[in-house]
Structure 1
Amino acid sequence: MINPDAKRVVRIQLRLTLLAMLLGLVAADAPLNAAMSVLLGGLCAIIPALVYIRIAGTLQRGDPAAIMRSHYRAAAAKFILTLLLFGGVLLFFKDLSVPGLFGGFIAATSAYWFGLLIKN
């Protein structure tokens, strides 16, 4: 079972990514390129967050040291996956808006802060 707080943060990440995509569609010179870049940036934050939830959520109760080890493994996997996703996006998508990519990533990552402020 996924922690309800983790679900809430991922939903906020998705909403912020979609909001940033809309801003990219409205404000950019090449709106489709910017929106796709923002989406890819958001996915570079959302997919590793889901992997973290999957790995760290396997141990809900038990030995505190084992729980910490699972969180360390989850954080390492999240970091490595984030690097691989950014590398893959930068390697395979040549016509990319780099500010849009990082804007989408920052928008999705800011969901952790909004998750502390917003209680649904």
Structure 2
Amino acid sequence: MAKPEIKRIVRLQFVLTAVAVLIAAVLGQGSISGAVSALLGGLTVILPALLYIRIAYSVPRASPAVLMKAHYKAEAVKFVLTILIFAVVLLFFKDISVAAYFAGYMLVVSAYWFGLLIKIEKK
């Protein structure tokens, strides 16, 4: 994870997860269920993204075909892991707030779009 753009997106995902947890905690009025649900929603985005980074950038220098194959493999693994996390959370966490879970998920997924809008200052 050497590229600064990648680090910036992951940091933004963690920040947005914290924001989602804080909002859910405030709106939950003392109930921890919403905050935990928002945290799980954020982790549903972050964990597959970290695995994607590990797989896609495991080959630092190679031909474009090899690099593209690594990204395709990483995207497939990310997709499957995301579906598995959704299934595990929705099946085994009985006290989950579905609204807070999906709100946290959507907020953290938006980090990819925010990342495209943030300008990097060249030094």
Amino acid at match of 1:47: L
The answer to which of 70-79 and 103-112 deviates more is: 103-112
RMSD: 1.4
Work out the CA distance in 2 between the residues paired with 1:65 and 1:23: 44
Amino acid at match of 2:46: I
1:25-104 matched pairs, under 5 angstroms: 25-28=25-28, 31-104=31-104
Q: TM-score, normalised by structure 1?
A: 0.93
- Per the TM alignment, residue 30 of structure 1 is displaced from its structure 2 partner at its CA by 5.8
- Per the TM alignment, residue 5 of structure 1 is displaced from its structure 2 partner at its CA by 1.1
- Per the TM alignment, residue 7 of structure 1 is displaced from its structure 2 partner at its CA by 1.1
Give unpaired runs (5+ residues) of structure 2.
Answer: none
Which residue does the alignment assign to 1:12? 12
Which residue does the alignment assign to 2:110? 110
Work out the CA distance in 1 between the residues paired with 2:33 and 2:85: 18
Q: Per-residue displacement from partner, 1:15-73 (whole Å, max 9, x unpaired)?
A: 01110111111123563110000000100000000000000011232211110000000
Work out the CA distance in 2 between the residues paired with 1:22 and 1:43: 15
**Are the structure 2 counterparts of residues 80 and 30 from structure 1 closer, same or farther at C-alpha, using a change threshold of 3 Å?**
farther
Percent identity, aligned pairs only, is 52
Amino acid at match of 2:61: R
Q: TM-score, normalised by structure 2?
A: 0.91
Q: Which runs of 4+ in 1 moved over 3 A?
A: none
